[in-house]
Amino acid sequence: MRFSHSLRSRVALAFAAVGGGVSLIIAIGLYLGVRDAGERLLDETLNAEMQDYQARRARNPQSLPPATATLVGFVTPAAAHDPPLPAALQGLPPGRHTLRLDGLPYRLAVADHGGLRYYLLYDESRFRERQSRLTAFLAAFVALMMLVSGSIAFWLAERVIEPVKELARRVREIGPGTPHADLTADFPPDEVGELARAFEQSLQRLSAFIERERAFTADVSHELRTPLAVIRGAAEVLLADEIRPEKERQRLERIERAAADMADLTTALLAMARERDEARREPVDLARLLEEVLDKHRHLLNGKTVDVVLEIRARPALTVDPNLLAIVLANLVRNSFTYTERGSVTLRLEAHALSVSDTGLGIPREALERVFQRLYKGRHSQGAGIGLTLVKKICDRYGWRVTLDSEEGRGTRVVLDFSP
């Protein structure tokens, strides 16, 4: 997923990141400035103390080096009354140094004056302690600023994305074929307004497409059903003539069945084209409809040694469009009758499932995953490759599950699970 966070979260995180980044930069600047000022103050203090002691030593050679809680001095070569120079300081050149002596941090100034070398150490313990407190304070400041920035950002983000949420709400309320107000009316010509105009244009194209689809559906309903009814009527009239030769009657029966199948297919396609069909749903006795479908398709077994076994263990009533349910049953029965040359076809109806098993040609194992694909035709297929696709679409429409298991040369078993 390219965008894994909500718009509000991204806006809030951006605000929080900016606030945290700015406060971090300020904290770093303050830390560096305070540290630099402190070090310069230490150096100035050492310079002043060094000059003061050098002046006192020049006036009074007996003057002792400083020895306070924070400031310690040494002189070389040392006089009898001067404290001895620690070994760690010996050999250090003139200048500024940082070192640890007896476990304590010191800032050291070394200078030559009047043939003597002066050493002055300043205890940095308190300075370092103040630096640590400053670091902790600045870290807390950065964390607090990020928290405050994030809280304010979440509050602001809700208002920043309010136009987007309003646009989404308006688009969500628009249904197929329902009139809608101008989406761009309340939005300024900014990014959200541009998005609203894009939605408006898409909705207009969609409305035009739906209108064309409705016109096409109406035309198909009239232009296909009328000639099919004429064909079926003519076939029935011709079949009523009992003196016709048997071969002609068989051809007429094929014409009549083909017209009937085409009428059923047209009904199914038109029904599937409708987004909602609540008005066409009614309780259907599945057992009775299954018996009608079997009687209608028994002619497919003419000349075959196939036994049909119908086991009705329950009589469930499904609230569906009867035409769509009939299409599902007809496809399952027709496939079993068509591809079974000998053996049996067993239909078992239970409270929440219907199974259709046969001993027909079967389906190769590698083709099982493709049988529900549109226009897929197997090696032995005699149809157009849309029957099982229609079955799958109708099942998906009603939340049913259809599973197919088969072995080539041994038969097929289809289970229609319509449990709630």
List the domains of the chain with CATH numbers: 7-157 (no CATH), 176-275 (1.10.287), 278-417 (3.30.565.10)
Q: What's this model's pTM, rounded to 2 decimal places?
A: 0.48
For residue 365 the two structure tokens come to 């194992």
How far CA 75 is from CA of 84, 92, 121, 202, in Å, comes to 8, 13, 12, 90
Q: Under a CB-based contact definition with an 8 Å cutoff, are residues 9 and 158 in contact?
A: no
Q: What is the spatial distance between Cα 50 and Cα 396, in angstroms, rounded to a whole number?
A: 93
C-alpha to C-alpha distance for 44 and 42, rounded to whole angstroms: 5
The per-residue pLDDT for 373 is: 73
How far is residue 105 from each of residues 70, 126, 128, 129, measured CA to CA in Å?
A: 11, 10, 8, 11
In the prediction, which pLDDT does 56 show?
Answer: 87
Residues with Cβ within 8 Å of residue 7, at least 6 apart in sequence:
157, 161, 164
Per residue of the chain (420 residues), give pLDDT as tens.
Answer: 454 556 667 777 777 778 778 888 888 888 888 888 888 888 888 888 888 888 888 888 888 888 888 888 899 888 878 888 888 888 889 998 888 888 888 888 999 988 889 999 888 888 888 888 888 888 888 888 878 877 887 777 777 777 777 777 777 777 655 666 666 667 777 777 777 788 778 777 877 777 777 776 666 666 677 787 888 888 888 878 778 888 887 888 888 877 877 776 677 667 666 656 666 788 999 999 999 989 888 888 888 888 999 999 999 999 988 888 888 998 899 889 988 889 999 999 999 999 999 998 888 777 777 777 765 565 555 555 567 788 888 888 889 999 988 888 888 999 999 987
Predicted local distance difference test score (pLDDT) of residue 98: 87
Question: What's the first-to-final CA gap in the chain, in angstroms?
Answer: 32
pLDDT at 1: 43
